[in-house]
Amino acid sequence: MHTGYEVLLGCLVAAVIIGFVVIYCHIRRRTRKIKSSKRDIEVGTASVEYEEVTCKQMSVKEIYAATENLHLSNIIGQGIAGKVYKGMLANGWPVAVKHIIKNEHAETFVREVTSLSHVKHPNLVSLRGYCDGQEECFLVYELCVNGNLSEWLFGKDKSLSWTQRLQIALGSACGLWFLHIFPEGCIVHRDIKPTNILLGVDMEPKLADFGLSRVIDIGVSHVSSEVRGTFGYVDPEYRHNHRVNAAGDVYSFGMVLLQLLSGERAINIMNTAKPMSLDKMASLLIREGNVLEFADPRLKGEYSVDAFDLCLKLALSCTGHKQQRPSMEQVVSRLEKALEISMRDDDKRNNISMVESFA
């Protein structure tokens, strides 16, 4: 006859075995999903299903009807080129409408339409339509209901978990990789920053604002241009030599990744006498052996230390010398690895908690 102790021990062993089986199946399923996503990106297709939308020319009447005559209550943003309004098209699509004064920012309008009208990817904001008027023009995008990454990193009433941050970093990197290997020529965004990473219904990231983008023809290493972009995110080498290339986007992405890790601004303006960029701050903490001090306090220590270390080193390699920077393909691969490590560590913690609950 089995004693009560033996029965309890048997139940505990069975529970542990079942837990390991569930965890193993979960990891296998998530790993297959990640690998499938990578294969899809390599052949230039979407890794998730998304609506195929043709960008169409629209009338001023349609634009004003969608935004209630550009009503002030519908303003959801303000960019350099003009105000952004939320609206609803006649077919029921929720949209974001950018209003551009033509004589001041006509170049922005042309670049956005040229870049986004035929470039489709789940991690790029979709251009639904455009309106080219005599004095004003409009760009009509899909509406990303969760705003932009900056609001979530620096907003007082919002926060992102470690897994969400990794997924946002990975999705953004996938979008950039797609742009850099576009068959018709490398598309350099030139203004990667948190405000230009929009978040959809499920917090999926979508790169936006292609007003500064440039296309580099196949076989050409760079194009020369005046320095454009946002202070704190512009590649120092680009500022020096005025050469636009994919490495500049890699640098900007590295700064965004540092912000996802730390929750800090790109430039530490608290010390006005000697402001320090985020990459220099991270390098200093690494030299002092205080890597984990770089972590955003709002994470409350709930992250994988190994994955955090991997991401921090990746970010600093992105902001390092141009010749040593990884490609966006390599960035995607390392972020996938960080996500796998995090999932494995999460499953270990969950398994330990489950065992402790039976003890």
- Which are the catalytic amino acids? 191
Burial class (CB in 10 A: 0-12, 13-18, 19+), 174: buried
**Amino acid letter at 233?**
Y
Nearest to 210 by CA among 279, 124, 145: 124
Eight-class DSSP state of 77: E
Long-range contact set of residues 30-35: C-beta below 8 Å, sequence gap at least 24: 30/340, 30/343, 31/340, 34/336, 34/339, 34/340
CA atoms within 13 A on the CB side of 160: 29
Residues contacting 126, CB < 8 A, separation 6+? 51, 53, 116, 120, 141, 142, 206
DSSP code string of 223-277: EE----S-TTTS-HHHHHH-EE-HHHHHHHHHHHHHHHHH---SEETTSTTS-EE
Contact 315, 262 (CB under 8 A): no
The CB density around residue 281, as the number of other CB atoms within 10 Å, is: 17
Q: Which two tokens stand for residue 24?
A: 């193993």
Find all residues with CB under 8 Å of 81, minimum gap 6, and list them: 98, 100, 101, 104, 105, 108, 109, 211
